[in-house]
Amino acid sequence: MSSDSLHNLTAHEAANLLGARQTSSEELTRAYLDRIQAVEDEVKAYVTVLDAGAMEQARQADRQLAAGEGGPLTGVPMQLKDNLTTSGVVTTCSSRMLKDFVPPYDATVVDRLRGAGAVFLGKGNMDEFAMGSSTENSAFFATHNPWGLDKVPGGSSGGPAAAVAASEATYSLGSDTGGSIRQPAALCGVVGLKPTYGLVSRYGLIAFASSLDQIGPMTKDVTDSALVLNAIAGHDPMDSTSAPQQATDYTEALVPDVKGMRLGVPKEYFVEGMDHRVTAAVEAAIASLEDMGASVDREVSLPTTPYALAVYYIIAPSEASANLARYDGVKFGYRAEDTQDIWEAMEHTRQQGFGAEVKRRIMLGTYALSAGYYDAYYLRAQKVRTLISQEFEQVFERYDALLAPTSPSVAFGLGEKMDDPMQMYLSDVCTIPANIAGIPGISVPCGFVDGLPVGLQVLGPHFGEQALFRVAYAYEQAHEWHSMRPNL
């Protein structure tokens, strides 16, 4: 394969070439760094590019491979969302507050990928502190969708989604609090997996909403998603919410067969105002799975689901207001200068260090938790959260997985919704329920509208990732959507 097309490889294709000694990690990494240099001015997927560090990791991986060591991700170049702490590398959360913050430790997922021999190309741009659905809330610059450079890539993992779509990385790790992996994956035409809450360690993930955040892979195809989940999943004593799950080889679920599977289609996900062309693409994908032998029930109901958006925008800001209290200008991060006393310093630090959306959510959360409003908002939201979770549990007694749209629309224009927070929040209406309940979800490409990708979302029961992979892989193998690349 010519060096100028190496950047188009999936992770498993790259691993096969590396294993057969048909290329080297050094050559592969150089191809990706060249690709970043060629298209990054248009896409803006990276906050930090680690040229020298990546080449050194690649040389180390080549030594491992030459000695007959390593695994399926050894020597494969990838990207990390910039809210995953990386030892010795600036980690900003795309916020002025952490513009110069260099962590002294690796997140557990970063440590596991280091152990697997991954090559880190750099850190991906995102909505500030993962708060947003378009990556326009980054304190540094907006990321552009590779399929339409005047469109958003989705958010908050817009940098990772755009990097994978533009072949600026074989894969990336994102985080998903209310859809922040799946929604940008859908808008950029890649595969995005939000694992079950607790399956992947959150240690070293800079917190937004601790009961909702989950780390997962963003990849070019479903096979890569399973390979990356193999590497990062598993119990971690450093994370008190980490589940004591047995190690699983998720690639065993990659069979192109859904015969006998029971799939449900919850009608509440086809929301009012959804682009009818998106509906048509998702309906065609569902019909395709039915043609392949799955039993599909289109009359499933999750009646509490419509309340998930309201529940999310009470619980997530409430947890954010607590988590972001640590940014006070005293211990680390940005600090306002020329202030009279510690209280003024703290006030000015937060005024200047946080962007508008982060301030909005801190105020929403602080209000919801304040005396006199806690019972009316936060406590009630937690009760509805329990109802949503119970409904999913009951439905999954009858179905192996659920099928739904990932996003109600394709990628919208840059700047189109920035002045209308409510419209922006509605972008996550299809993805938020999975975070509320802690269940896994995956988005796979299922078509195009006006040249922009559409995503099919597959939801499963707690620790039901195998069912998701089976459905997603079978659908992917029957279609060509995942193999299409934007023309940059």
Looking at the structure of the chain, the number of domains it has is 2
Residue at 281 is within a domain = no
Residue at 385 is within a domain = no
What is the mean pLDDT, run by run of 10 residues, along the chain of 488 residues?
81 97 97 98 98 98 96 98 98 97 97 98 98 97 98 98 98 98 98 98 97 98 98 97 93 97 96 94 98 97 95 96 92 86 88 94 94 92 98 98 97 92 85 98 98 98 98 98 95
Sign of the torsion formed by the C-alpha atoms of 202, 204, 210 and 216: negative
Residue 413 DSSP one-character state: B
Residue reference for tokens 């099928």 = 403
Which of the listed residues 348, 380, 412 is the one where a domain comes to its end? Answer: 380
Q: Which residues of 302-336 are buried (b: 16+ CB within 10 A; e: fewer)?
A: bebbebbbebbbbbbbbbbbbbbeebbbeeebbbb
156 annotated active-site: yes
pTM beyond cutoff 0.95: yes
Q: Are residues 155 and 233 in the same domain?
A: yes
The CA–CA distances, whole Å, from 241 to 196, 198, 213, 236, 407 equal 11, 6, 11, 9, 28
- Which pLDDT tens digit goes with each residue over 19-77? 999 999 999 999 999 999 999 999 999 999 999 999 999 999 999 999 999 999 999 99
Range of the domain at 333: 307-380
Q: Are residues 170 and 208 in the same domain?
A: yes
Which of the listed residues 330, 350, 380 is the one where a domain comes to its end? Answer: 380
Residue at 274 is within a domain = no
State the CATH number of the domain containing residue 220: 3.90.1300.10
Q: Are residues 242 and 348 in the same domain?
A: no
Helix (H, G, I), strand (E, B) or coil at 60: helix
Residue at 272 is within a domain = no
Catalytic residue, chosen from 95, 133, 156, 201, is 156
Q: Are residues 249 and 314 in the same domain?
A: no
Q: Are residues 376 and 441 in the same domain?
A: no
Closest CA to 305 of 276, 270, 275: 270
Q: Are residues 458 and 337 in the same domain?
A: no
Q: Are residues 327 and 475 in the same domain?
A: no
180 annotated active-site: yes
Q: List 124's β-bridge partners, or say none.
A: 46, 81
Are residues 194 and 182 in contact, defined by beta-carbon separation less than 8 angstroms?
yes
Residue at 126 is within a domain = yes
Residue at 211 is within a domain = yes
Q: Which pLDDT score is estimated for 2?
A: 58
d(CA 78, CA 90): 17
Q: Are residues 64 and 102 in the same domain?
A: yes
Catalytic residue, chosen from 24, 180, 201, 242, is 180
Residue at 418 is within a domain = yes
359 annotated active-site: no
Burial of 241 (0-12, 13-18, 19+ CB in 10 A): middle
- Which pLDDT tens digit goes with each residue over 387-413? 999 999 999 999 999 999 999 999 999
Residue at 462 is within a domain = yes
Q: Are residues 376 and 251 in the same domain?
A: no
Helix (H, G, I), strand (E, B) or coil at 10: coil
Sheet holding 46-49, edge to edge: 46-49, 119-124, 77-81, 171-176, 214-219, 191-194, 441-449, 452-459, 401-405, 262-266, 295-300
Q: Which pLDDT score is estimated for 3?
A: 62
Which of the listed residues 380, 413, 435 is the one where a domain comes to its end? Answer: 380
Catalytic residue, chosen from 24, 25, 44, 81, is 81
The amino acid at residue 196 is T
Q: Which pLDDT score is estimated for 367?
A: 95
Q: Are residues 95 and 235 in the same domain?
A: yes
Q: Are residues 406 and 363 in the same domain?
A: no
Q: Are residues 205 and 319 in the same domain?
A: no
